[in-house]
A and B are shown apart, each in its own frame.
Chain A
Amino acid sequence: MKGNSLVTSTASIVGGLLIWEVISRFLINNALFLASPSQIVVAIYKLGLSGVLWRHIEISTYEFVLGYVIASALGVLLGLAMAESRTAKSILQPWVSGLYATPTIALGPLFLLWMGIGIWSKVLVVITLVVFPVALNTEVGLLTTSPRLIEMLRSFGASRKQIFFKLSLPSAAPFVLAGLKLGIGRGLIGVVVAELFGSRAGLGQLISQSADAFNMPNLFAAVIILATAGIVMTAGFSWLEKRLVPWTRD
């Protein structure tokens, strides 16, 4: 069964690429509108050879990692505070829930004004996109600790602190990981869009520069690299989840 579905998925991808190739070569046949997969591969190869591509990837990676790490740490701390203290919850909850639902990415141009064209305006966008889902998931994870398990620990005379470290924290882990996984996609969008608003380098900048020059192969090259990054990171995360919290599978 499993092998079969893998074959089907592979066939679907290969088939899709073939159709794409045929459409762009024979039906549209205009490099200003659509690049074919083979053209994109060539574009990636050329960009890679010239060294430009690595520069873009490096900058975007740097912005993403910086924002993501800061947001994760901050998000877990916020979630902890909201779960543990009623006061902290009343103060933070409206902001966190509100900002989670807000497309904070729209604040990108504002951050650009504040912090200039360098990486920090992008890092800030990533942070605002990633921090809230992580915070909310951490909070929910801590609050959904099973009352039956709490009682089990209490029956052995466990203190509040022991219940927190031996029970609440590990049972929140799957939720925290789910929040972090959600953050990957949001963070990538943040980097690219923030770079579109204005930047000197990065994959988003490659996209806007290629669009201005009607260079479809280069534009798609950047998109494909971003897609690959998202897929690989999400898959890596799923793998990590299987190792770290294997009990959630059933």
Chain B
Amino acid sequence: MNTPKLNVSGLVKKFGDLEVISNIGVTIGEGEFISIVGPSGCGKTTFLRIVAGLEESSGGEVRIDDTVVKGPGIDRGFVFQNDNLLPWRTVLDNALIGPEVSGGSDAAAKSRTMDLLKLVGLEGFEKYFPRQLSGGMRQRVNLARALAIDPKILLMDEPFAALDAQTREIMQTELIRIWEQGRKTVLFVTHQIDEAVFLSDRVLVFARRPGRIREIVEIDLPRPRNLSLKRTPEFAKYVDLIWGMIEEDVRHSVLVEKE
């Protein structure tokens, strides 16, 4: 592994009496792409929000470059499941909100953000409003907005969940392309196991009640990756392996939710 970027140790989170996260510990290297999969309600979002500093932990700590996380900061960029764009702002002004809030919204930030919009494939749409964009395009703005603060770590919570299957696949290859160019450290939450395998260096498989890491699967597939990889037997083997790990848990959570 490269130099450690993010270190989580003994992390616990309780909501009242409910223990949602129990003793999570993991070290993530600089530039690593990590996915998190697990049954619904196992605390993936909560984990990500704690790393983002949006939620306080009940025990343990999160360190970034050996500094304990105490709150949100522009060293981390959050890509939300719902794009959370401000409807009265144009694409460009939405993407610029991070620099603006942290007091760095100058001409340089603007030209950098323009480049980012180009990078995510939105050149020419800078002046559009969110309501004029498709779901896929809105998620691209969401991503560009997180990148605009040039974070060291990208935190992504099911960013493609609301997209149709084709758009999702395209966004996956786009994300890889963008990641290859900057090699940020990425924490990516998803329900799609094939998405996790396709994108990641390692996959954290969470178990539920309470949420914890059940297994860490190293994805030893060559890079750069493209969609044809998804049709190889090696790829299928990883998907099966991970599915086998969470199958019982998922079955259980589906049954519980039905009650």
The reply to whether A148 and B97 contact each other, CB–CB distance below 8 Å, is no
The reply to whether A155 and B78 contact each other, CB–CB distance below 8 Å, is yes
Nearest opposing residue in chain A for B75, CB measure: A157
> Which residue of B72, B87, B102, B130 is within 8 Å of A154 (Cβ)?
B72
The reply to whether B72 and A155 contact each other, CB–CB distance below 8 Å, is yes
Interface size class of B (residues with CB under 8 A): 20 to 34
The reply to whether B131 and A151 contact each other, CB–CB distance below 8 Å, is no
Interface string of A156-194 (1 = CB under 8 A from B): 111000100011001000000000000000000000000
Taken together as a complex, chains A and B put the C-alpha atoms of A154 and B73 apart, in Å, by 9
Contacts of A149 in B (CB 8 A): 84, 86
Taken together as a complex, chains A and B put the C-alpha atoms of A250 and B54 apart, in Å, by 30
Interface centre among B76, B80, B86, B149 (most CB of A within 10 A): B86
Taken together as a complex, chains A and B put the C-alpha atoms of A247 and B82 apart, in Å, by 17
The reply to whether A152 and B102 contact each other, CB–CB distance below 8 Å, is no
Q: How far is the CB of B55 from chain A (nearest CB, A)?
A: 10
> Which residue of A156, A166, A167, A245 is within 8 Å of B72 (Cβ)?
A156
Interface string of A35-50 (1 = CB under 8 A from B): 0000000000000000
> Which residue of A148, A157, A158 is within 8 Å of B84 (Cβ)?
A148
The reply to whether A148 and B82 contact each other, CB–CB distance below 8 Å, is yes
The reply to whether B101 and A153 contact each other, CB–CB distance below 8 Å, is yes
Instruction: Knowing A154-B54, A166-B97 are in contact, say whether A247-B88 is a contact too (CB < 8 A).
Output: yes
The reply to whether A153 and B82 contact each other, CB–CB distance below 8 Å, is no
Instruction: Knowing A148-B80, A247-B88, A247-B129 are in contact, say whether A155-B52 is a contact too (CB < 8 A).
Output: yes
The reply to whether B52 and A156 contact each other, CB–CB distance below 8 Å, is no
Contacts of A158 in B (CB 8 A): 101
> Which residue of B82, B102, B129 is within 8 Å of A157 (Cβ)?
B102
Contacts of A154 in B (CB 8 A): 54, 72
Taken together as a complex, chains A and B put the C-alpha atoms of A153 and B52 apart, in Å, by 12
The reply to whether B149 and A156 contact each other, CB–CB distance below 8 Å, is yes
Taken together as a complex, chains A and B put the C-alpha atoms of A158 and B145 apart, in Å, by 14
The reply to whether B102 and A170 contact each other, CB–CB distance below 8 Å, is no
B74 interface contact, C-beta 8 A: yes
The reply to whether B101 and A162 contact each other, CB–CB distance below 8 Å, is yes
Nearest opposing residue in chain B for A157, CB measure: B72
Contacts of B84 in A (CB 8 A): 148-149, 151-152
Taken together as a complex, chains A and B put the C-alpha atoms of A148 and B78 apart, in Å, by 12
> Which residue of B87, B97, B129 is within 8 Å of A156 (Cβ)?
B97
Contacts of A151 in B (CB 8 A): 54, 80, 84
Contacts of B74 in A (CB 8 A): 156-157
Instruction: Knowing A154-B72, A156-B149 are in contact, say whether A245-B88 is a contact too (CB < 8 A).
Output: yes
Contacts of B52 in A (CB 8 A): 155
Contacts of A162 in B (CB 8 A): 101
Contacts of A245 in B (CB 8 A): 88
Taken together as a complex, chains A and B put the C-alpha atoms of A166 and B89 apart, in Å, by 10
Contacts of B101 in A (CB 8 A): 153, 156-158, 162, 166
Q: How far is the CB of B158 from chain A (nearest CB, A)?
A: 14
Which residues 42-63 in A have Cβ within 8 Å of B in the complex?
A: none
The reply to whether A250 and B131 contact each other, CB–CB distance below 8 Å, is yes
> Which residue of A152, A157, A166, A167 is within 8 Å of B80 (Cβ)?
A152
Taken together as a complex, chains A and B put the C-alpha atoms of A158 and B77 apart, in Å, by 13
Interface centre among A152, A158, A245 (most CB of B within 10 A): A152
> Which residue of A155, A157, A167 is within 8 Å of B86 (Cβ)?
A167
Taken together as a complex, chains A and B put the C-alpha atoms of A148 and B45 apart, in Å, by 13
Which residues 84-106 in B have Cβ within 8 Å of A in the complex?
A: 84, 86-88, 97-98, 100-102
Interface string of A190-206 (1 = CB under 8 A from B): 00000000000000000
Contacts of A170 in B (CB 8 A): 86, 88
Q: How far is the CB of B235 from chain A (nearest CB, A)?
A: 33
Q: Other than the known A151-B54, A156-B72, A166-B100, what 18 A-B pairs have Cβ atoms closer than 8 Å?
A: A148-B80, A148-B84, A151-B80, A151-B84, A152-B78, A152-B84, A154-B72, A155-B54, A155-B72, A156-B98, A156-B101, A157-B72, A157-B74, A157-B101, A166-B86, A166-B101, A246-B129, A247-B131
- Interchain residue pairs with CB less than 8 A apart (10): A152-B78, A155-B54, A155-B76, A156-B97, A156-B102, A157-B72, A158-B101, A166-B100, A247-B129, A247-B131
Question: Contact residues of B with A, CB < 8 Å?
Answer: 52, 54, 71-74, 76-78, 80, 82, 84, 86-88, 97-98, 100-102, 129-131, 149
